[in-house]
Amino acid sequence: MGVVLVDAGGTNIGSVRYALQRLGVDAALTADADAIRAADKVILPGVGAAAPGMARLRELGLVELMRSLTQPVLGVCLGMQLLCEHSEEGDTACLGLIPASVRRFTDQPNLRVPHMGWNRLKPRRQHALLKGLKDGDWAYFVHSYAVANGDHALATTDYGGEFACVIARGNFHGMQFHPERSASVGARLLKNFLEL
């Protein structure tokens, strides 16, 4: 069936879809379990808060389906956070697919929250998702909560401390930044996902 975007209510769905179209992929937007299960690649976009995001997946009956997928899955922004075990945002139990927690940035002098704007990426280990990514490449972020660094981190970013900005475990992958707004770097990483 190709690539599907899970219609979980994220406000960045249109821009992610357009970024995929620029790569020659017309991704179907769906909340249909059969269509998601049949897809070659699944993307879970999301902008907003963890609790409403998980509530939407529960309302659609997609929580267990998302957990059972065996094809490559990519979570973008909030979608990446929902792949993790728990978010401090609303004390929310998430999908539990990546053994990591999501925490709010700590208040520090001269550190604005949300983290909004361009920041540098630092690859931590080799992975097909990072093909062509160089240390110090820039990506565009908008978030107040971040995934803690750990074995799941493929790349990190520093904003008042290091956090995981690209993660993977098995067939589940995530990007905290917005690849659809991250110019050539974002396009390259989306293309890498499509080639997994």
**Predicted confidence (pLDDT) per residue in 63-114, tens digit:** 999 999 999 999 999 999 999 999 999 999 999 999 999 999 998 999 999 9
pLDDT of residue 10: 65
pLDDT of residue 11: 64
Strand 3-6 versus strand 153-158 pairing type:
unpaired
pLDDT of residue 13: 82
Close Cβ partners of 177 (under 8 Å, ≥ 6 residues apart): 77, 119, 121, 139, 140, 141, 157, 165, 186
**Predicted confidence (pLDDT) per residue in 116-131, tens digit:** 999 999 999 999 999 9
Q: Which residues pair with 139 in a beta bridge?
A: 119
Which is nearest to 177 in space by CA: 71, 107, 79, 83? 79
Active site includes 165? no
Q: Which is the catalytic residue, given 59, 64, 77, 152?
A: 77
pLDDT of residue 21: 94
Query: Which two structure tokens, joined as six digits, stand for 153?
Result: 């981190």
Q: 114: cis peptide before it, omega within 30°?
A: yes
**Predicted confidence (pLDDT) per residue in 39-52, tens digit:** 999 999 987 899 99
Are 84 and 98 a contacting pair, CB within 8 Å? yes
Close Cβ partners of 100 (under 8 Å, ≥ 6 residues apart): 84, 85, 147, 148, 150, 152, 164, 167
pLDDT above 90: residue 190: yes
More confidently predicted of 13 and 195: 195
Mean pLDDT for the chain overall: 95
Active site includes 173? no
Distance of alpha carbon 64 from alpha carbon 66, whole angstroms? 5
Q: Which is the catalytic residue, given 94, 115, 152, 180?
A: 180
Which is nearest to 186 in space by CA: 153, 154, 140? 140
Q: Which is the catalytic residue, given 115, 143, 173, 178?
A: 178
Is the domain 3-194 a CATH 3.30.70.100 member? no
**Predicted confidence (pLDDT) per residue in 15-34, tens digit:** 899 999 999 999 999 999 99
Active site includes 180? yes
**Cβ atoms within 10 Å of 151's Cβ, excluding its own:** 12
More confidently predicted of 13 and 1: 13
Give the pLDDT mean for 173-190.
Answer: 96
pLDDT above 80: residue 162: yes
